[in-house]
Amino acid sequence: MTARTWPKAYGPLRPRTLLWQLAVLVVAEIALYASYATHEARFHWATHFLVGLTVAALWRALFLLVAARPTRFQLLSILGFHLWAMWPDIVFRAPGVPHYHWMDWLALGHVSSHYMPGGDTTWLLVALAASGAYAVLLWRWLSARHTEAAAGLAPALGVGGSGVLRPQLDPTTTVLAHETCGAPDSAGEPLVFLHGLGATSSTWVPTAQRVAVAGVRSLVPDLLGFGSSMRIGTAFGLDAQADAVIRLLDHHDVQRAHLVAHSWGSALAAAVVERAPERVARMTLVAPAVFADVDSARARFSERSWLARATLAGSPLGGFVCGAMCLARPLVARLAPRMEPDVPPEVARDGVQHSFAAYSDALNSMWEGNPLAEVLRRPPCPITVLLAEQDRTVLPSDVLDLPPSADVRIVRTDGDHGIAYTQPDLVATLLLEQLDSRAHTRGAVT
């Protein structure tokens, strides 16, 4: 294993790293203990060490829950928090500053911690409880990662929520969570709806229900890492997603399907058709994520949401905030419809049902290795593209500027990027038109 492929997330737990930190911690604590013992104040050392130990355990546990990986300086953080808790004692000696009550706020309760009922015995129990809870948490996290490794999966780093405590499921043995609409024995190729970035099957359910009335069968999956498939998989790029979609087709014994995709899902549809062209009868792409200029597209996505901005900038803040939202997912899901009043409530609620790793992989896959432009240039099957004139996320001109192809039909309509879930009637009508007539207007622009 080379250093390059060793994940940073595992670095803090390497035995060599832990051992040198342990050595520094022990030597430093002995020195601090001696400095107190010289002045008959061992009691103070114990109080502040135990407070520091407690806060260090809480910090490490919180970091593990939020970032879904262990923090750096696992053992040195104990020394760090101890020094934080005891700095008033240091400045008491050197510059000669007595203690004041306001130091409680800046030194982890330095003054008040002495007045804990039961004294150091209570602090010892508190510190052991906090450290024990962190040890259990880390044990569960390591167990989950070992289970994933035994299954041949990559470690689920950055997968928050339940992914911290439980192993992700193997996508080769677990089918994507999905809804089926329409009669199973209906004739013709079934529709397979692929949702966009940060979305779930709820994007497409209203459309699938409308076409089901006409007797058309549909599969509406939550893609890897999203919605009810959040616990499936540890890598969420286009390759892994395409494999999962093909396995869904296998699961339902579907030989050929009509892929209907929105935004980032269009890149996935292109990945599926590149991987298994014989499994795709046709594609309908709604506001497809294809970009003439990747840099300006990244800039537009950055303006779209703070999470996209942080993720694209490579800032760890995105992972932390997303991880915090994982912890508070039920509350955030409840608030989401109010924060996005223009989006159907169920779509807004499902917009937080994903891990940061899934979001990040999906977002990056739009710029790195996105096969959609090439598929639109040389379509392996008939493709209908629905463009929204007011779309500011993916520009209609990026599709229109591609060289025209006889197998690509372009339909333009009023609307914005959310056309897939704001205008299900329109999309359903377009799909039924295609299915009824089986007519494919070659190269037409409506």
Partner 1 sequence: MPSSTATSTTPPKADPAYGRTPGLRPPLPAWAPLAWFAAFAAVLAFVVIAMVRPPGPLDDADPAFQRDGLLLDGPLVPPQVVGVEFGGRPVVLLFVRQLPQPADLSEWLNAVPEGADVRIVLPQPTTTELPAPTVVDRPGNLADAVEMPQPVDGGRPVGYAVIDSRRVVRYATLDPDYLTNAFEVTTMVNAVS
**97 lies in the binding site for partner 1 (CB under 8 A):** yes
**102 lies in the binding site for partner 1 (CB under 8 A):** no
Minimum distance between the CB of residue 127 and partner 1, rounded to whole angstroms?
Answer: 7
Q: How far apart are CA 30 and CA 265, in angstroms?
A: 58
Give 7 or 345: the residue with its C-beta nearer to partner 1: 7
Give the one residue of 77, 168, 203, 234 binding partner 1; rule: CB under 8 A. 234
Give 111 or 333: the residue with its C-beta nearer to partner 1: 111
Q: Which amino acid is at 424?
A: P
With contacts defined by CB under 8 A, how many residues of the chain interact with partner 1?
85
Give 222 or 361: the residue with its C-beta nearer to partner 1: 361
Q: Scanning residues 106 to 165, which ones bind partner 1 (CB under 8 A)?
A: 111, 114-116, 119-121, 124, 127-128, 131-132, 134-136, 138-139, 142-143, 145-146, 149, 152-155, 157-159
User: Can you list the positions of beta strands (E) in 278-346?
Assistant: 280-286
**89 lies in the binding site for partner 1 (CB under 8 A):** yes
> Contact, 361 vs 225, CB < 8 A?
yes
Measured CA angle at 10 (ends 23, 21), to 5 deg: 10
The two beta strands, 218-221 and 257-262, are unpaired
Q: Scanning residues 321 to 360, which ones bind partner 1 (CB under 8 A)?
A: 356-357, 360
Residue recorded with tokens 């509406």:
220
Give 281 or 321: the residue with its C-beta nearer to partner 1: 321
> Contact, 230 vs 198, CB < 8 A?
no
Minimum distance between the CB of residue 23 and partner 1, rounded to whole angstroms?
Answer: 15
Which positions ≥6 away from 225 have C-beta within 8 Å? 159, 232, 233, 236, 354, 355, 357, 358, 359, 361, 362
**5 lies in the binding site for partner 1 (CB under 8 A):** yes
Q: Scanning residues 298 to 327, which ones bind partner 1 (CB under 8 A)?
A: 310-311, 314-319
Give the one residue of 235, 257, 387, 428 binding partner 1; rule: CB under 8 A. 235
Q: Scanning residues 366 to 385, which ones bind partner 1 (CB under 8 A)?
A: 368-370
Minimum distance between the CB of residue 328 and partner 1, rounded to whole angstroms?
Answer: 20
Instruction: Single out the segment in contact with partner 1 by CB under 8 A; choices: 180-188, 284-292, 325-333, 365-373.
Output: 365-373
**7 lies in the binding site for partner 1 (CB under 8 A):** yes
Q: Determine the distance from the C-alpha atom of residue 331 to the mean position of all C-alpha atoms in its chain, rounded to a whole number.
A: 17
Largest Cα–Cα separation, the chain = 93
Give 4 or 338: the residue with its C-beta nearer to partner 1: 4
Which positions ≥6 away from 194 have C-beta within 8 Å? 221, 223, 245, 259, 260, 261, 262, 265, 266, 268, 269
Q: How far apart are CA 326 and CA 276, in angstroms?
A: 34
**200 lies in the binding site for partner 1 (CB under 8 A):** no
Q: How far apart are CA 155 and CA 57, in angstroms?
A: 24
Q: Scanning residues 397 to 416, which ones bind partner 1 (CB under 8 A)?
A: none
Q: How far apart are CA 238 and CA 365, in angstroms?
A: 6
Minimum distance between the CB of residue 408 and partner 1, rounded to whole angstroms?
Answer: 23
**275 lies in the binding site for partner 1 (CB under 8 A):** no
Q: Scanning residues 17 to 76, which ones bind partner 1 (CB under 8 A)?
A: 33, 38-43, 45-46, 50, 53, 68
Give 238 or 402: the residue with its C-beta nearer to partner 1: 238
> Contact, 415 vs 314, CB < 8 A?
no
